[in-house]
């Protein structure tokens, strides 16, 4: 009888220990889920900030806030204090809610500069009518082909028009669209032109400049993942009327 009582007491004690263990584990998981692990405080903008904006102006208008993020998600060089922003200028666009690397502030080193120019290339800008810029549908990051139309003296001694592909594949670094289009742009212009900045090699920029000065330039938008046409013969008016 005594042995049976001891067994019951032992079973009750084991049950109590198991209950405490489960409670402790569950409570720990809950606290971890609520806390999200180690946290860090970073400064973010409340609204989009354009390149060239003085940080002091944004600070005075209350345009920044402090948020907590998991420590593992903190980006390299993230701003954690308003003191890091005072007297600085945005050297690149800063989006609302994103962490702000110090490389995007004046004095920081941003690969490719403000426009992200690839190594070995130059930023070259063309101002085009919307009809020559894919109806203003071009956006930053797109790939385009550059075409030129000029006149040249042919074998008959007369000047004849011709069109040629100048650059088969150029990266769009920036776009400024006419204000009437309502598109997302770095800034709006009332000139009616679509201002497109391209990443070009020096030899390509020379050809585009010549086509602009002596004729006209138009852009063709490449589809995502499409390969450019690298071998394209020059088109002439004579080809169009030949039988």
Q: What is the pLDDT of residue 7?
A: 56
pLDDT tens for 50-62 read: 888 889 999 999 9
Residue 42: C-alpha distances to residues 31, 45, 66, 85, 132 (Å)? 22, 10, 6, 12, 44
Confidence of residue 232 (pLDDT cuts 50, 70, 90): confident
Bridge partner list, 147? 165, 218
CB 90 within 8 A of CB 33: no
The encoded tokens of residue 15 equal: 């049950």
Nearest-angstrom CA–CA distance, 19 and 115 = 61
Q: Where is pLDDT greater, at 242 or 149?
A: 149
What phi and psi, each to the nearest 5 degrees, are found at residue 154?
Answer: -100, -175
Confidence of residue 241 (pLDDT cuts 50, 70, 90): low
pLDDT tens for 119-158 read: 899 999 999 999 999 988 898 889 999 999 988 777 777 7
The encoded tokens of residue 209 equal: 């400049």
Asked if pLDDT for residue 33 goes beyond 60, the answer is no
Confidence of residue 11 (pLDDT cuts 50, 70, 90): low
Q: Does domain 39-104 have CATH number 3.90.1210.10?
A: yes
Domain boundaries, the chain: 39-104, 122-225+233-241
């Amino acid at each position: 009888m005594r042995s049976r009582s001891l067994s019951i007491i032992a079973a009750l004690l084991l049950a109590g220990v198991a209950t405490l263990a489960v409670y402790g584990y569950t409570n720990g998981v809950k606290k971890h889920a609520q806390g999200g692990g180690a946290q860090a405080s970073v400064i973010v903008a409340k609204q989009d900030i354009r390149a060239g904006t003085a940080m002091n102006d944004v600070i005075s208008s209350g345009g920044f806030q402090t948020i907590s993020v998991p420590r593992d998600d903190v980006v390299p060089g993230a701003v954690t204090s308003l003191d890091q922003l005072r007297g600085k200028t945005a050297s690149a666009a800063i989006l609302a809610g994103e962490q702000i690397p110090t490389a995007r502030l004046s004095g920081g080193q941003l690969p490719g500069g403000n426009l992200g120019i690839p190594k070995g290339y130059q930023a070259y800008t063309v101002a085009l009518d919307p009809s020559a810029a894919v109806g203003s549908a071009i956006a930053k990051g797109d790939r385009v082909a550059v075409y030129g139309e000029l006149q040249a003296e042919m074998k008959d001694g007369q000047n004849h028009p011709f069109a040629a592909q100048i650059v088969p594949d150029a990266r769009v670094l920036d776009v400024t669209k006419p204000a009437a289009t309502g598109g997302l742009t770095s800034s709006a212009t009332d000139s009616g032109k679509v201002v497109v900045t391209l990443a070009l090699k020096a030899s390509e920029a020379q050809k585009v400049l010549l086509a602009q000065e002596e004729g006209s330039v138009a852009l063709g938008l490449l589809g995502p993942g499409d390969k450019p046409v690298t071998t394209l013969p020059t088109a002439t008016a004579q080809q169009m009327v030949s039988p």
